[in-house]
Structure 1
Amino acid sequence: MPIQPIDVKYTAVATAEGGRDGRVATDDGRLDVVVNPPKELGGSGSGTNPEQLFAAGFSACFQSALGVVARRQKVDITGSRVTARVGIGGNGSGGFGLEVELAVSIPGTDEATAKQLAEAAHEVCPYSNATRGNIKVGLSVA
């Protein structure tokens, strides 16, 4: 699949020092966090980790995409939530891989509508588009 060009409107910049056991900060200073491997991967677990940051970004982005498609379809999604679970593990080739599970909750909306909105958001969300075909991304509605 060819890479589609985009009209870049904003570029985020972050710099890591010390990899998974250090710190990461954005150039504007709005994010400056200690990162440590989780205990499950042999680390201290005392800071955040890249998978948590990815889950936070994906869930926030997907929530926004859900809002975009809901507005287009004139559906009220007040009180909706998106939870992202990001798993990391060996990929069988000596490296590591990720998988994501997105759980979407839209109170006051029937399951069929919620599912349709979530699937439409999955086509709009930049994180979904970046990961499609690269990692397993599951989508569920509650």
Structure 2
Amino acid sequence: MMNRHHFHLKADWNGGRNSEGVISAGNLNTKISIPKEMGGPGVGTNPDEMLIGAAATCYLITLAAMLERKQIPVEKLSLETEGVVSENRGRLQFESVTHRPHVVLGAGVTPEQVKEAEAFTEKAEQSCMISNALRGNVELAVHAEVITAG
């Protein structure tokens, strides 16, 4: 039997292209507008930030779960994600999402655990639900740094 999870978002928009609106979805409540980089007012968040936010949080949670399942001790796990939007003949396209995880493994990890953690940085991107929704339309990349504490 397939389980389905439903997520709902409500949005209100006031005016034309350079106006602003609000969205509400569970714990997410924020203003929205077109970013300044694209000639908008830059109020609140925007679809571009939300897309990389969804991709980044899904990736990070997936990677953390993989490391936990294999009982690989992690001292610190952080991530920087970059999204690139290109404009061609007035048409905007989300071009790429690149994750740059920084994984600091706890003292006493084995060389095998280090290799496994390195492999998980790639596997997390391949397993993440959001990455899989984007795959084929957006270039996806991971540039990981895995080090041991001390």
Q: Percent identity?
A: 21
**TM-score, normalized by length of structure 1?**
0.78
User: How many residues were matched structurally?
Assistant: 134
Q: Name 1:124's counterpart in structure 2.
A: 127
Alignment of 1:88 with 2:85, yes or no, is yes
Change (3 A) 1:47 1:26: closer
How far is 1:100 from its partner? 0.8
Q: Give the number of the structure whose residues are more often strand, by fraction.
A: 2
Q: Name 2:45's counterpart in structure 1.
A: 48
Q: Give the structure with higher Rg (CA).
A: 2
**TM-score, normalized by length of structure 2?**
0.74
Q: Name 1:26's counterpart in structure 2.
A: 24
How far is 1:52 from its partner? 1.3
Change (3 A) 1:85 1:20: farther
Change (3 A) 1:107 1:52: same
| d(CA) in 2 for partners of 1:102, 1:14 | 26
How far is 1:32 from its partner? 2.2
Alignment of 1:106 with 2:106, yes or no, is no
Unaligned runs of 5+ in 1: 1-5
What are the superposed Cα offsets for residues 73-112 of structure 1, whole Å, 9 maximum, x if unpaired?
221233101222222222x475321121111110137875
Q: Name 1:72's counterpart in structure 2.
A: 69
| d(CA) in 2 for partners of 1:73, 1:123 | 18
- Residue 121 of structure 1 aligns to which amino acid in structure 2? A
More displaced 10-residue stretch of structure 1: 69-78 or 39-48: 69-78
| d(CA) in 2 for partners of 1:25, 1:126 | 22
- Residue 69 of structure 1 aligns to which amino acid in structure 2? M
Secondary structure of the corresponding residue to residue 105 of structure 2: coil
How far is 1:20 from its partner? 7.5
Secondary structure of the corresponding residue to residue 137 of structure 1: strand
Q: Name 1:3's counterpart in structure 2.
A: none
Secondary structure of the corresponding residue to residue 12 of structure 1: coil
Change (3 A) 1:21 1:58: farther
RMSD: 2.5
